[in-house]
Amino acid sequence: MELAAMKTRIEKAPRRLPGIKLAALVLGSSLVLAGCAGNPPTEQYAVTQSAVNAAISAGGTEFAAVEMKSAQDKLKEAELAMHDKEYEKARRLAEQAEWDARLAERKAQAAKAEQALQDARQGVQELREEGMRNAQ
């Protein structure tokens, strides 16, 4: 009889233990996430600032004005959100600004490449015309 009572107690103990482990895991995860939410996204802000500067250097303000304005506006909003300690909003805005800046940089590079292609075609055309004049 005692053996049957011991088995019952032993079987019940493992069932409660996973519940405690799960509660500890949930509590630990919540603390980790809460800790992350309290940190300013300074690294993302720096990456975004670098992307905006690269886009400006590539000619984004000339060839992709809309994207550049969007990137700069979102970067300013992210800075204000960081100042107000709204770190999640600041991180999200900084990420969006980074992608807008990268798009502006790519558009500027593509526009410059297209312009170089047009210049090369024009040069070839002029050489052909000059060759035709000299042949006659």
Q: Using H for helix, E for strand and C for coil, what is the string for 44-94?
A: HHHHHHHHHHHHHHHCHHHHCHHHHHHHHHHHHHHHHHHHCCCHHHHHHHH
Nearest to 55 by CA among 19, 12, 101, 118: 101
Res 37 pLDDT > 70: no
Within 10 A of 109 (CB to CB), how many other CB atoms are there? 16
The CATH-assigned architecture of domain 38-135 is Up-down Bundle (1.20)
* pLDDT at residue number 18: 55
Residues 87-111 pLDDT 10s: 999 999 999 999 999 999 999 999 9
Q: What is the pLDDT of residue 42?
A: 93
Q: What is the pLDDT of residues 14-23, one digit of tens each?
A: 455 455 554 4
Rounded to a whole number of angstroms, the CA Rg of the chain reads 31
Sign of CA dihedral 32, 33, 38, 39: positive
pLDDT at 12: 52
Residues 53-92: tens digit of each pLDDT = 999 999 999 999 999 999 999 999 999 999 999 999 999 9
